[in-house]
C-alpha cells in the first residue's frame, strides 16, 4: 500500500524513531524492494539474524504496521493485592507501633506479613517517610496577614527615595578556641576536628542588611539591651544619607519597643519600624545573612579571644560590602498566605481568610 510505504519511509528517516522500530521498517522495505533477496541477504543489510527477519515479516503480514511494535509484556502476576496495600498505608498513618515512635520497614513487615522491600515500595509509591520529621512554628499573631503583606510589599516594591533595612541581633556568639588538633582535608577525606574547646566569652552582633544591594551595617556589643540598640540606631543614622526615608524591618524583641526607642523615633521622623509577625522572624532577610555568616566564618572558626572573634566578624562584613550580593525575595504575600492555608486545612481543620 502506498500509505504504508510512505509511513515506513518516514519511520526510517525520522531521527526520533526508536532504533529497533526503524530497523523493522527497513526489513519490510527491503523485502518489498528486493523480493529476490533471501532472509540472510536482508539480515546482513540490517544486522539481524534470519529468524528475527522472518518474525517481523510474518507479523507485518498478519497485523500491518501495528505488528512492528513491541507486544505488551504481561510480566508476573501481582502478588500483593490492593487490600494489603491499603492495610500498610492505614497502619502507617493511623496506628503507632508498639514501644516505638514510628514505623520502620522491619517492624511494618513483621506486622503486615510482607517483605521489607515490599513495604518500602508501598511507602515510596504513597510518599510515606515515617523516619523523617520536620518542625514548624505557626504564628498566632492576630495581625499576621497585615504584617506579611506589609513586609513582603517592602521587599517586592520598595518606596521611592527610601531605604529598606532588615535589622536584628545575633546574640551569644561564642569565641571558641579549638582545644584539639585539626586534621586538614585530604583527597577522599573531609576535615576532622576534635570535640574539645576553650571558651573565651561571647559577643552580640547587631546588623542591618540592605537586601536590595546586599551591604551590611554591623557592630559587636557585649550585651543587647536598649542602650546598645539605640547606639546602633545612631550608627545607622550617621551612615544613611539624610535625604532618604528609612524603613526598618525587625522582630518583636522587647528592646525594640521600649519607651526610649519610641522617643528616639519621635526625634527621627524619617524612620518607620515594621515588625514581623510573632514567630515570623523568617520574614526578616537579615536572618539569611546571619546563616551565611555562621556557615562561612563562625561554625568552624578558631578564636583565641573575644577580640579575635569580633575582628573576624568585622572582616567578614568588610569583605561582604566590597562584593555585595543582593538578597532577592521571590514569594508574594498571597503565595505565603496560601501555604499557611494549605497547612491549616488538613491539620487544624481551619483556614485563614
Closest CA to 336 of 286, 276, 294: 276
C-alpha cell at 308: 579575635
User: How far, in Å, CA of 155 to CA of 147, rounded?
Assistant: 13
- Give, in order, the Cα–Cα distances in Å from 270 to each of 157, 260, 273, 276, 316: 19, 17, 10, 20, 30
Q: Based on the number of CB atoms within 10 Å of its own CB, is 344 exposed (0-12), middle (13-18) or buried (19 or more)?
A: middle
Give the E-state strand segments of the chain in sequence order.
162-178, 197-210, 215-221, 245-250, 271-275
What's the pLDDT score for residue 67? 84
- Phi-psi category of residue 245: left, alpha or beta, with phi > 0 → left and psi -120 to 50 → alpha: beta
What's the pLDDT score for residue 353? 52
- The H-or-E segment that residue 30 falls in is helix 19-33
Q: Are 66 and 82 in contact (CB under 8 A)?
A: no
Which residue in this structure is represented by grid cell 496495600? 85
User: How far, in Å, CA of 80 to CA of 259, rounded?
Assistant: 69
What's the pLDDT score for residue 348? 67
What's the pLDDT score for residue 342? 84
Q: Where are the domains of the chain?
A: 2-68, 82-126, 144-183+194-345
pLDDT < 50 positions in the chain? none
Fold of 144-183+194-345: Nucleotidyltransferase; domain 5 (3.30.420)
User: How far, in Å, CA of 342 to CA of 285, rounded?
Assistant: 24
What's the pLDDT score for residue 117? 94
φ and ψ of 71, to 5 deg:
-70, 145
C-alpha cell at 347: 491539620
What's the pLDDT score for residue 180? 75
What's the pLDDT score for residue 179? 77
Using one digit for the tens of pLDDT, what is the confidence trace for 117-169?
Answer: 999 999 999 999 999 988 878 888 899 999 999 999 999 999 989 999 999 99
Q: Are 207 and 290 in contact (CB under 8 A)?
A: yes
Rounded to the nearest angstrom, the gap between the alpha carbon of residue 176 and the centroid of all alpha carbons in its chain is 31
What's the pLDDT score for residue 16? 80
Q: Is 163 helix (H, G, I), strand (E, B) or coil?
A: strand
Q: Is 152 helix (H, G, I), strand (E, B) or coil?
A: helix
Using one digit for the tens of pLDDT, what is the confidence trace for 237-273?
Answer: 999 998 999 999 999 999 999 999 999 999 999 999 9
User: How far, in Å, CA of 265 to CA of 242, rounded?
Assistant: 15
Closest CA to 263 of 236, 232, 226: 226
Q: Are 313 and 202 in contact (CB under 8 A)?
A: no
Amino acid at each position: 500500500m502506498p500509505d504504508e510505504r510512505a509511513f515506513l519511509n518516514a519511520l526510517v528517516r525520522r531521527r526520533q524513531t526508536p532504533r529497533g522500530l526503524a530497523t523493522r521498517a527497513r526489513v519490510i522495505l527491503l523485502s518489498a524492494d528486493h523480493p529476490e533477496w533471501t532472509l540472510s541477504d536482508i539480515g546482513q543489510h540490517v544486522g539481524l539474524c534470519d529468524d528475527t527477519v522472518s518474525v517481523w515479516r510474518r507479523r507485518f503480514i498478519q497485523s500491518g504496521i501495528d505488528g512492528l511494535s513491541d507486544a505488551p509484556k504481561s510480566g508476573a502476576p501481582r502478588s500483593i493485592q490492593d487490600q494489603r496495600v491499603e492495610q500498610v498505608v492505614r497502619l502507617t498513618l493511623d496506628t503507632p507501633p508498639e514501644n516505638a515512635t514510628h514505623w520502620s520497614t522491619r517492624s511494618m513487615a513483621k506486622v503486615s506479613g510482607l517483605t521489607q522491600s515490599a513495604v518500602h515500595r508501598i511507602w515510596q509509591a504513597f510518599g510515606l517517610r515515617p523516619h523523617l520529621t520536620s518542625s514548624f512554628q505557626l504564628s498566632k499573631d492576630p495581625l499576621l496577614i497585615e504584617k506579611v503583606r506589609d513586609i513582603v510589599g517592602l521587599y517586592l516594591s520598595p518606596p521611592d527615595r527610601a531605604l529598606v533595612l532588615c535589622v536584628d541581633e545575633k546574640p551569644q556568639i561564642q569565641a571558641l578556641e579549638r582545644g584539639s588538633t585539626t586534621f586538614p582535608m585530604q583527597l577522599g577525606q573531609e576535615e576532622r576536628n576534635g570535640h574539645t574547646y576553650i571558651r573565651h566569652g561571647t559577643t552580640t552582633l547587631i546588623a542591618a542588611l540592605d537586601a536590595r544591594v546586599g551591604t551590611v551595617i554591623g557592630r559587636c556589643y557585649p550585651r543587647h539591651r536598649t542602650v546598645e540598640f539605640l547606639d546602633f540606631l545612631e550608627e545607622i543614622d550617621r551612615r544613611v544619607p539624610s535625604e532618604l526615608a528609612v524603613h526598618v524591618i525587625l522582630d518583636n524583641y522587647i528592646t525594640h519597643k521600649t519607651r526610649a526607642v519610641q522617643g528616639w523615633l519621635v526625634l527621627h521622623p524619617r524612620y518607620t519600624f515594621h515588625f514581623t509577625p510573632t514567630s515570623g522572624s523568617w520574614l526578616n532577610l537579615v536572618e539569611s545573612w546571619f546563616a551565611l555568616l555562621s556557615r562561612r566564618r563562625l561554625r568552624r572558626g578558631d578564636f583565641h579571644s573575644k577580640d579575635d572573634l569580633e575582628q573576624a566578624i568585622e572582616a567578614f562584613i568588610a569583605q561582604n560590602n566590597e562584593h555585595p550580593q543582593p538578597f532577592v525575595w521571590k514569594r508574594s504575600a498571597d503565595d505565603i498566605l496560601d501555604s499557611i492555608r494549605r497547612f491549616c486545612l488538613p491539620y487544624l481543620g481551619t483556614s485563614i481568610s
